Amino acid sequence: MIKIYKKINKSANNPYGCIQITNLNDLKNPFYLCISGYDNYNKAVFGLIREGAHAARVYTTQEVAAGFAIEKMPIDFIGYTYEQDSDNSNEYELAHCLLLPFIKLHGSNYQAMLKQARKINLFTYDTGAEKYANAEKEIYNTLVNEGYSESEAATVLSQICILALGTNLDLTNLYATNFTFVDLNDKELETKELIDYKRVLINKHSPSMYVPIGERNSIFFPFLGAGNHSVKDYLDMKSPSKPAICSMTVFCLQNSLANLKTSALLSVDREDVYAPLYTYAANLRSVHDTMCILDNEVKYDNSPKYTIDEVQLRIELDSICRTLQKQQTSLYNKEKSTQDLTNKVNNIINSIRKYCSNTTYYQILTDCHMWYPADDVLSKESDKEIREKYEALNKEEKPKKKASKKKAEPKKDNKKKEVKKNTKKKETKNKKK
């Protein structure tokens, strides 16, 4: 089972800044689905949603960014947690409980599905790309089995855009338009092909490059980063991948919004991506300067940005919410510990009740200050005392057994036997003679 979460502003009532979405009809906007490699941990899921908003230049606690107010954004930033409660796999749930129902939200008309699919943008990290790849196969097979042609199923899926960070999975076979970002210094992702890319960048004295790969809409962006297998490092202000990731995120989300204003379909084509990639990733400006240009130019329709004063208030509120998060976690752990101890005590009491007499049962509770009887129950004999008396009496009543003397058996005369044997032998000899 998957649970879908949407990012909102933090508040005293919601210090984590995420709410659960129980009805897909609540997802009216294009969305940026953040798929974590560790979707069974809420912290990892919520953290990746925050990083996805960060890449879109929405205000986050890590960085003011362009300062867009998330509560007024025409984009939903979502993620999901997965808990296996049936035979359905993670990928099956992702396909049939989220992506496919969203594609068919306004009916099974082919053109309507194309428009819906272009609202889907994905931000994956680590094995999150593999989860989408398997979910895409499930969606493709389902559409073909429902009567759509292979070409129609492929075209629907090609409207989805995916930005994959920190994966060495080959995404060129995906139908979705995809952009792969890999830190060549990351030892966890090292392959022969990536080593060759690293050699090329070192020889060119370049921190990054972008390469169109495969026959479909795939672009590969290798770079020389810090070497840490962490999504935060991919979006660090010192990382050459930051301008590329942010510019591609903005480009895909802006395209989704543009499709809402026209009846025609505005697909994302690989050729259209080259301009922003060159402007924000391939030039020789510093990362800081490049990001300043992007933040000044990026727009999401008429979405407002925070003022400097509002940003300061948000920073203070975020600090309070983090403190509240820690207090809530601490309180939860203490309550859980208390409940565990209470359960253990109850189990002990039930066991005493089961195996002891009423007298001993109340004696134990009285001695532990858990019972205050009217009479002096401690003066009565306990089960142990009664048992010891019984064993003592039992020993006294048992008579001691006298050792029985065995009758002496007469010794057998072996000499007589030998004499008899010898006489028999002589007799047999005389007979033979």
| Residue 371: how many other CB atoms lie within 10 Å | 13
**pLDDT above 70: percentage of residues in the chain:** 89
Confidence of residue 195 (pLDDT cuts 50, 70, 90): very high
Residue 201, both tokens: 């960048």
| Predicted local confidence at residue 428, as pLDDT | 59
| Predicted local confidence at residue 383, as pLDDT | 85
Helix (H, G, I), strand (E, B) or coil at 390: helix
Confidence of residue 145 (pLDDT cuts 50, 70, 90): very high
* CA of residue 311 relative to chain centroid, distance: 31
What would the pLDDT profile of 163-183 be if each residue is shown by its tens digit? 999 998 999 999 999 999 999
The phi, psi pair for 212, rounded to 5°, reads -70, 125
- Write out the DSSP string of 137-194: HHHHHHHHHTT--HHHHHHHHHT-EEEEES-----TT-SSEEEEEEETT-GGG--HHH
Residue 295 CA to residue 291 CA, distance in Å, equals: 6
**pLDDT above 90: percentage of residues in the chain:** 45
| Predicted local confidence at residue 43, as pLDDT | 81
Residue 32 CA to residue 58 CA, distance in Å, equals: 12
CB contact at 8 A, 331 and 74: no
Average pLDDT over residues 341-350: 90
What would the pLDDT profile of 359-394 be if each residue is shown by its tens digit? 888 888 888 888 787 778 888 888 888 888 888 888
pLDDT tops 80 at residue 200: yes
Average pLDDT over residues 312-340: 84
| Predicted local confidence at residue 433, as pLDDT | 47
- Write out the DSSP string of 351-387: HHHHHS-HHHHHHHHHHTTS---SS-GGGSPPHHHHH
Helix (H, G, I), strand (E, B) or coil at 293: helix
Residue 280 CA to residue 287 CA, distance in Å, equals: 9
Q: Provide the mean pLDDT of the chain.
A: 86
Among positive and negative, which fits the CA dihedral 61, 66, 67, 68? Answer: negative
| Predicted local confidence at residue 405, as pLDDT | 56
Average pLDDT over residues 55-68: 76
Residue 106 CA to residue 118 CA, distance in Å, equals: 13
